Amino acid sequence: MSTRPIRFFHRGQIVEVADAAPTRSVLDWLREDARCTGTKEGCNEGDCGACTVVLGELDDAGQLALATTNACIQFLPTLDGKALFTVEDLKSAQGTLHPVQQALVDCHGSQCGFCTPGFAMSMWSVYQQHQPCGTKATRAEMADALSGNLCRCTGYRPILDAGERMFELPAASFDPAPVVAALQSLHQPMSFSYEHGAGYHAPRTLDELAALRERLPQARLLAGSTDIGLWVNKQFKDVGTLIYIGEVAEMKAIEPRDGGLWIGAAASLEAAWGALAARHPSLTEVWRRFASPPVRHAGTMGGNVANGSPIGDSAPVLMALDAQIELRRGERVRRLPLTEFYVDYMKNKLEPGEFVQALWLPELPAQRLVRAYKISKRFDCDISALLLAASIELDGDVVKTIRLAYGGMAAIVKRAAAAEAALLGKPWTEANVAAAMQALAKDFKPLTDMRASAAYRAQVAQNLLQRFWLETRRDAPLAAAQVNVFVAA
């Protein structure tokens, strides 16, 4: 790969950067190099949304696709070939405020103003999704879109009011044509390599990635940097040479394959969770509560699984769906049940030079019932204290298939083997479920930490299993509104 500068579209022109470290954040470049200081630094770890910007890319049809992301944890070279929009882009050339900005003024949606640019960019993204089509976002849709933006003083009611108000103001036009033309001119079929101190490589094809990974087994694989970005920002780690998988189109695919659903390891969390929820609508709430839209737009489900965090929300759900993980080293591809992938805390069965290529989910019988329950201190944008993902298939009243996968209960995400054994082949009754609840003590010895005590986790793990029974029992199963205060009756 030949080295060249980072090139992207920003403030109406193509920008070239050749003197930044590969781990320089987009936020630091904006504020310190480009002097675009509207974007703010808050938590510097992707939680508060003060640094929210919008990235633009060309989709498969050649149209401009926009998505919010956190500038504080995005590495600058990942902008190559993309468009970057910040709060400075909102006001018109004539000085007129954008409807997003005017609505925030009209509805008193800002006090200290520190978080406002991030809110404005999330709202602008929603505006661009709806206004050209002549539609309006609902208040609930707006609340979901803003779940990654933290306000410490104004309160969310006036900001949500502004989200509704912006569609009532005179429309602001946005012509994507110059951006599309710029991105087309930036497109390079060749792989991208950037060197400044450390190395950064962005292969374009799966074969190139496999060859590069085999040649550089010690290099760090980079997807959305929603985890690695914190290693740099908070732990000051030297992550060494980076191999970015975000330019490998084959690994972004989500498609039917081998009689099941194939999710490429570079597919975004948003796209992957959307595909799971389309198959199993009961997973919609867990999708909505997984991090925030800016994190889901950047991060990948493959990365979340490869990371191996015992409190990662993807792995329990995938285990309940009988997922397999597809691993590649050079030309060799192998699949493992995801339940066999994790060995110990943050340890897995990846071999040197091997990487996660995809996740594969079989087509489940129509009678398989699936649920997932996330317990956290906040409803939105919070890490789980524990999570249960469960699926069951009944033959009459008898349990034919049962999967109970827990996160946050052990050093790894794993299935509750003893609890499953207490249920398999037996009637799906309250008494048998009670026995399985007691069997959970054989499966898990949870720890106490800042998110929950061991006793709390053990009790709630049992309660969630009982809730699963209440929702799936043959006789008068409870509706979602009867067990979830966030669901309207």
CB 40 within 8 A of CB 50: yes
Co-location of 390 and 438 in the same domain: yes
Question: In this structure, which amino acid lies at residue 96?
Answer: T
Co-location of 133 and 32 in the same domain: no
Report the CATH number at residue 139.
1.10.150.120
How confident is the model over 200-212, as a mean pLDDT?
97
Is 97 part of any domain? yes
Two tokens, residue 344? 């110990």
Helix or strand (DSSP H, E) at 205: none
Per-residue pLDDT band for 480 (boundaries 50, 70, 90) equals: confident
| Alpha-carbon separation of residue 285 from 82, 334, 369, 378, 417 (angstroms) | 31, 32, 16, 14, 26
Express each pLDDT in 381-417 by its tens digit.
Answer: 999 999 999 999 999 999 999 999 999 999 999 999 9
Co-location of 187 and 334 in the same domain: no
Helix, strand, coil tally for the chain in percent (to 5) = 35, 25, 40
> What whole-number percentage of the chain has pLDDT above 70?
100
Tell which residue, 247, 239, 207, 237, has the closest CA to residue 220: 239
Report the CATH number at residue 455.
3.30.390.50
Q: Which residue has the tokens 């029974």?
A: 469
pLDDT at 487: 83
Task: Provide the number of structural domains found in the chain.
Answer: 4
Does residue 238 carry a pLDDT above 80? Answer: yes
Separation between Cα atoms, residue 51 and residue 47, nearest integer Å: 10
| Alpha-carbon separation of residue 220 from 44, 71, 232, 418 (angstroms) | 21, 20, 13, 37
Separation between Cα atoms, residue 200 and residue 263, nearest integer Å: 25
Is 170 part of any domain? no
Co-location of 259 and 238 in the same domain: no
Average pLDDT of the residues of the chain = 96
Co-location of 289 and 328 in the same domain: yes
| Alpha-carbon separation of residue 278 from 271, 272, 273, 387 (angstroms) | 10, 10, 8, 20
Report the CATH number at residue 317.
3.30.465.10
| Alpha-carbon separation of residue 477 from 109, 364, 474 (angstroms) | 43, 21, 6
Co-location of 50 and 135 in the same domain: no
CB 228 within 8 A of CB 72: no
Co-location of 83 and 199 in the same domain: yes
Per-residue pLDDT band for 1 (boundaries 50, 70, 90) equals: low
Per-residue pLDDT band for 371 (boundaries 50, 70, 90) equals: very high
CA dihedral (418, 420, 425, 427) positive or negative = positive
Co-location of 200 and 59 in the same domain: yes
Q: Which residue has the tokens 């049992």?
A: 462
**Domain end among 244, 273, 295:** 244
Give the relative orientation of helices 116-130 and 99-106 as an angle to the nearest 10 degrees. Answer: 120
Two tokens, residue 329? 């080293």
Report the CATH number at residue 189.
3.10.20.30
Separation between Cα atoms, residue 47 and residue 115, nearest integer Å: 12
The 3-class secondary structure across 332-354, one letter per residue, is: EEEEEEHHHCEEECCEECCCCCC
Is 171 part of any domain? no
Is 371 part of any domain? no
Co-location of 84 and 110 in the same domain: no
How confident is the model over 225-246, as a mean pLDDT?
96
Is 419 part of any domain? yes
Q: Which residue has the tokens 């943050």?
A: 346
Per-residue pLDDT band for 486 (boundaries 50, 70, 90) equals: confident
Q: Give the 3-state secondary structure of residue 417.
A: helix
Does residue 423 carry a pLDDT above 90? Answer: yes
Q: How many CB atoms lie within 10 A of CB 441?
A: 13
DSSP state letters, 272-310: HHHHHHHH-GGGHHHHHHSS-HHHHHH-BHHHHHHH--T
Express each pLDDT in 45-101 by its tens digit.
Answer: 999 999 999 999 999 999 999 999 999 999 999 999 999 999 999 999 888 999 999
Separation between Cα atoms, residue 172 and residue 169, nearest integer Å: 9
Is 370 part of any domain? no
Separation between Cα atoms, residue 378 and residue 374, nearest integer Å: 10
Co-location of 411 and 312 in the same domain: no
**Domain end among 362, 397, 425:** 362
Co-location of 194 and 144 in the same domain: no
Q: Domain range for residue 417?
A: 383-483
Is 372 part of any domain? no
Co-location of 65 and 132 in the same domain: no
Tell which residue, 485, 450, 449, has the closest CA to residue 467: 485
Express each pLDDT in 256-307 by its tens digit.
Answer: 999 999 999 999 999 999 999 999 999 999 999 999 999 999 999 999 999 9
Is 375 part of any domain? no
CB 191 within 8 A of CB 133: no
**Domain end among 244, 270, 287:** 244
